[in-house]
């Protein structure tokens, strides 16, 4: 199977789609800032999709769309509020 989306320079993963790239940060603010630096618009926030995953930001383009390069800027979730 081939992927016809934007090329991210890292090559395809096992599914044929771009390989994901997870970058861990120490805080929500540093994850947001890193995603902002990686894009050209306000970063997009996602909470953890499943148990065991971390909340994260994606870089965005000027229109506010996620840049489809597989980057996730993770940060630790506060276990006091997210069990």
Tens-digit pLDDT profile for residues 2-25: 444 444 455 666 777 666 688 999
In the chain, what are the domain boundaries?
A: 21-74
| Average pLDDT estimate for 33-37 | 96
Q: In what order do the strands lie in the sheet with 21-24?
A: 21-24, 71-74, 56-58, 44-46
pTM equals 0.71
Q: What percent of the chain has pLDDT over 70?
A: 72
Instruction: Provide the Cα torsion 10, 52, 24, 45; round to 10°.
Output: 90
- Residue written as tokens 């509020």? 81
| Average pLDDT estimate for 41-54 | 90
In this prediction, residue 38 carries a pLDDT of 93
């Amino acid at each position: 199977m081939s992927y016809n989306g934007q090329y991210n320079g890292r090559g395809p993963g096992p599914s044929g789609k771009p390989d994901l790239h997870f970058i861990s940060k120490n805080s929500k603010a540093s994850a947001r800032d890193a995603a902002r630096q990686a894009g050209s618009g306000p970063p997009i926030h996602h909470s953890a999709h499943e148990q065991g995953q971390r909340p994260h930001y994606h870089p965005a383009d000027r229109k506010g769309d996620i840049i489809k390069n597989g980057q996730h800027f993770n940060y630790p979730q506060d276990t006091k509020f997210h069990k």
